[in-house]
Amino acid sequence: MRVIGIDPGYDRVGIAIVDKPEGLSPDEHVKNGEKETLVYSECCTTSSTDDIYKRLLQVGQHIRDVIAKYKPDILAMETLFITKNQKTAMHVSEARGIIAYEAGLYGLPIFEYSPPQIKAAVTGDGHCDKRAIIKMIPLLISISDTKRHDDEYDAIAVALTCLASHSSTVHLSIAR
């Protein structure tokens, strides 16, 4: 199963493509020591000098290109974290809508996870800090030592949460 994990935004969007080995139950997967594999990750950025509509267009086009290239089975996205800045929250919400639209064009089921759900799935502690997530990810997934932006780690964590939350039954239910 292939998941595209998204840490949504309009300034920076974390994107990760994660593969889970096929044909093994979750217990066999762990027993055999097989890890999920990071196929691709990046932090897509837009220019702060562009207006919000151009930035949203860029996010949508980029997500579309990544989906077309890597052909994921599922899109997993972090839910909106409400900040005190209402303008930022609205723009992130708009970006989430664009991302959901692009997933819909490809018939991808969308799963959403809150920050505490992601933290708990990756570290076992729903209140941990970002350092704990970054430290845990290489233990859970085959990943190179390449330096990554925090948004990429967040996207990887979202994809891993999806794979942990939805075993092979999800894969069987996907219809394109």
Cite the active site residues: 7, 78, 151
DSSP, res 25: -
Residue in the block written with tokens 């990887």: 156
Query: CA-to-CA distance for 8 and 67, rounded, in angstroms?
Result: 15
